[in-house]
Amino acid sequence: MIKPKVVLEKRVHKDADVVKIVFEKNDKILRCLRQLPDLRWSQTHRSWYVPFRTTIMQDIFGLLKPIAYIDYSALKKTGTTRELKPAAPVLKKVGETISPLKHLSVLSSEQEAKIKEFKNWMRSRRYSESTIGTYTDALCVFLRFYHDKQLELIDNSDLIYFNNRYILANHLSASYQNQVVNAVKLFFRTIHLRSMEVELIHRPKRAKALPNVLSKEEIKQILNAHNNIKHRTMLSLIYSCGLRRGELLNLKLCDIDRRRGLIIIKQAKGRKDRIAPLSEKMIQLLQDYYLACKPVTWVFEGQGSNEPYDEGSLAKVLKQAVEKSNIDKPITLHWLRHSYATHLLENGTDLRYIQEILGHSRSTTTEIYTHVSTRSIQKVISPFDSL
């Protein structure tokens, strides 16, 4: 199987020498890169980067070489930026001045053995491979921070110290901190190391961000951007049924019930089955797609009939559609799902039905769409108009 490509480039960002890391959206690569303590996201350049230091190539190769092809030829070029020099450590301030972080060390043999035991336990409990990977990566970072401390001696104060000296000092997200907390709680509860009192560990407060929603006009532009019927059908099905990326790619032909106007989404997030309604227009598009492409097993197949369509390729399909539509927004596939839910709400669909269609366990998750729906807000008359 061909490894995904990661390109390293020289850049100057905010008057500092950095290494820009370019790759197509890939959760596994990103999880590995998050082990770099100084990984940052540039909103301006829409890419990840790290400050240059003498060990950066060694660090990146150590993390990514098993899973990706690394192209660093651009780092050898001259004339694109000034000669790179290691950046001086910068003191961060989080309530108090924090000294530069120590470099994360390799795991001890004891830590590796316990992590392997932990992974086997999660697999026996039927955790998804995605969750296993996320928890394992987060736990590795935490334990590498305490590589010289025996596991049975790690306690709650160590997690607080890690959050302050690693998570906050490196301006890592609350979401990532939450992943670490979840992984640490489950790990220490599983292997029964009593120094850590897991019931006293609290998750960080998360920002209550609103879902990103597109207008119906923007959705129409994106769905009609491709002439390729396969690409158009994939994006249309995500929007018309509120699917997650993995749910679309895991659909099989037997999951389409054309007579009842339904699709059956099997073992989705939380290992739950659910159904979603198919519109007449979507049924017709699926029929046209089937006659044109004749899939065998999966609704959307990759290079062969025995494998589903690739996640990275699906992301490219959306990216091309957005570019053709001339919409200047950082749109992801999940925006289509958010837009579907919001448009349903604006059409008067009951929240209980939207919750069932989207597969939300809690109604509070679905209720967030009431904050972005314009159905009621647009009826509010500003007192400014009456001045």
Q: Which of 165, 200, 235 is the last residue of a domain?
A: 200
Return the pLDDT at 281: 94
pTM score of the predicted model = 0.66
CB 279 within 8 A of CB 240: yes
CA distance 45 to 24: 14
In a domain, 386, yes or no: no
Return the pLDDT at 172: 79
Q: What is the pLDDT of residues 101-153, one digit of tens each?
A: 445 667 788 888 899 999 999 999 988 887 888 888 889 889 888 888 888 88
User: How many C-beta neighbours within 10 Å does residue 8 have?
Assistant: 22
pLDDT band at 174 (very low <50, low <70, confident <90, very high): confident
| Domain match, 259 and 354 both | yes
How far is C-alpha 76 from the geometric centre of its chain's CA atoms?
A: 31
From first CA to last CA, the distance across the chain in angstroms is 67
- Residue 170: which domain range? 109-200
CA distance 76 to 115: 38
| Domain match, 351 and 249 both | yes
| Domain match, 361 and 235 both | yes
Q: What is the CATH number of the domain that holds 153?
A: 1.10.150.130
User: How many C-beta neighbours within 10 Å does residue 271 have?
Assistant: 10
Return the pLDDT at 255: 94
CA distance 152 to 263: 49
| Domain match, 114 and 16 both | no
pLDDT band at 90 (very low <50, low <70, confident <90, very high): very low
Q: Which of 173, 200, 227 is the last residue of a domain?
A: 200
Strand duo 69-71 + 5-13: pairing: parallel
Number of domains in the chain: 3
CB 22 within 8 A of CB 64: no
In a domain, 86, yes or no: no
The answer on pLDDT for 234 being more than 70 is yes
**Which residues participate in catalysis according to the annotation?**
244, 269, 334, 337, 360, 369
